[in-house]
Amino acid sequence: MKLTGNLIIGAHDVPATEGTMKALNPATNTLIEPDFALGGAAQVHQAATLADEAFDSYSHTSLAVRAAFLDSIADNLEAVREALAARAALETGLPQAQLEGEATRAATQFRQFAEVVRKGRFLQLAIDPAQPDRQPRPRMDHRLQKMAIGPVAIFGASNFPIAYSVAGGDTASALAAGATVILKAHNAHPGASEIQARAIQKAVQDHGLHEGVFSMVRGIGNTIGEALVDHPLVKAVTFTGSEQGGMALYRRAQLRPDPIPVFTEMTSINPTFILPAALAERGVQIGDGFIERMLVNVGQACLRPALLIAIKGAGLEALRDAMVKRVAEASARTMLTPGIHASYLKGLAAMENAGARRVAEGSAASADFDGQSALLEVDGQRFLSEAVLSQEVFGPSALLVTVEDEAQLLAVARSLEGQLSAALHLEENDLPLARRLLPVLERRTGRIVVNAFAHPQEVTYATVHGGPFPATSDSRFTSVGMTSIERFLRPVAYQGFPDALLPEALRDFNPLKLPRLVDGQ
């Protein structure tokens, strides 16, 4: 596919208004053709105006039409999978085969959300029939359904250039809800972003939808992001990235004349607790598996396990040896961007300055932005006294915390901030301690895993990818899985309506055959 480098605003290719940029190949530290257009507030306004014009018609499309549209996006992504993965590999340094798998996952998510739309449960239909003879006063007929919140601004992520980017789960779930989308492409992979945007744009055109259903903008610095959050026609924002960036957007959105929700996914170290019986029985297996999952994506995955807590005793030395061995065998690999690489080195230095001891490292870097793997260790008392040791270091490193006893293990758990996930490795004899630990973790994460690791994660109806601050800005929602659609919905009640005026899903005799709650049943 030939890349134009233009912004994609509705059906229009828009050239640069604020200069241009080139993609960087981080593996070779060289720039890649072509030039990519940068836009500003004027282009945001153009996209937001189109999105608002498209919203009424798109949000009222039939479920069948919307589902078919999502399936078409999946078809289009599959058609460009190899070209998309090849370009993404150039822009990220990640293996092409891995990125082809990511493209397949992105297409699968669109198909999954097409099924969500067809089934209609996301509408949460409820009917409370009229009770004209009720005393002391009659009850009118009340009917409720969920509808899309409005045009949505989605910030593409850097670490998964397809599955969390232009054609990622945020876009799929927002379009499934009936929201129109303005996508801010991440500047780390502009070519991959354009290929994905073309796949969505083609589906919009093929289904005869309003061009404003989808647009993609790009800019430099904070200006274009601020313009998106500030625009009065934008009614919700999603963001995946750093706590600093996410909270800046969140605070800005709350200062609008009409504050809007900002759904952020920001930071997590995904703690793993090894309880004593499991440590004694499976320490080698757990340590090796932990490091294997930590190294995924060169440690640049939001669910990578980065903190392991174990009580001193039988199996600890074997656990440590297994972790040291796996880290020492790890080759340095290209990190996604120069900025991420620099932050990784800074984070490692901060941990060592706070008292963590480097006990293993992988092969040395051979290129400018290679990430060298590292294992650090600290005792429980030091961990509890140094807040920096519980901060995320985004990259291929992990911290082993050795605690004295069960009380100190529970104290470490209570000291943690909100997380996307937590894991427990246990045997039957560990159940009493696990029961004490579980309520502590339930308050601090949206997902708890037993005898496995937080990564990978299935995309299902029961998936939760969220948690208390600072993992996210709203722990009531997930950003992955079928229920992530709920971020983009709000309830509307229809009282005393004639049947002909009601939304089709709420009419008498249930013409769409959708699940509905009628008079509480």
- What six digits make up the tokens of 261? 């929700």
Instruction: Tell me which amino acid residue 459 is.
Output: V
Task: Look at residue 68 and give its three-state secondary structure.
Answer: helix
Question: Which one of 91, 302, 377, 417 is the catalytic residue?
Answer: 302
| HEC assignment per residue over 185-235 | CCCCCHHHHHHHHHHHHHHHHHCCCCHHHEEEECCCCCHHHHHHHHCCCCC
Please name the residues in contact with 407: beta carbons below 8 A apart, sequence gap of 6 or more. Answer: none
In the annotation, is 302 catalytic? yes
Q: Which residues of 232-243 are buried (b: 16+ CB within 10 A; e: fewer)?
A: ebbbbbbbbbbb
In the annotation, is 281 catalytic? no
CA dist 493 and 143 (Å) reads 6
Question: Which one of 18, 102, 265, 392 is the catalytic residue?
Answer: 265
Contact 88, 94 (CB under 8 A): yes
Q: What are the beta bridge partners of residue 445?
A: 419
CA dist 393 and 476 (Å) reads 26
Q: H/E element holding 290?
A: helix 276-294
Q: Count the neighbouring beta carbons within 10 Å of the beta carbon of residue 23.
A: 25
Half-sphere exposure (CA, 13 Å, Cβ side) for 245? 18
Q: Which residues of 283-319 are buried (b: 16+ CB within 10 A; e: fewer)?
A: beebbebbbebbbbbbbbbbbbbbbbbbbeeebbebb
Across 338-416, the runs of DSSP E, i.e. the strands, are 357-361, 370-371, 374-379, 397-403
- Cis omega (within 30 of 0) for bond into 491: no
Instruction: Report the catalytic residues.
Output: 265, 302
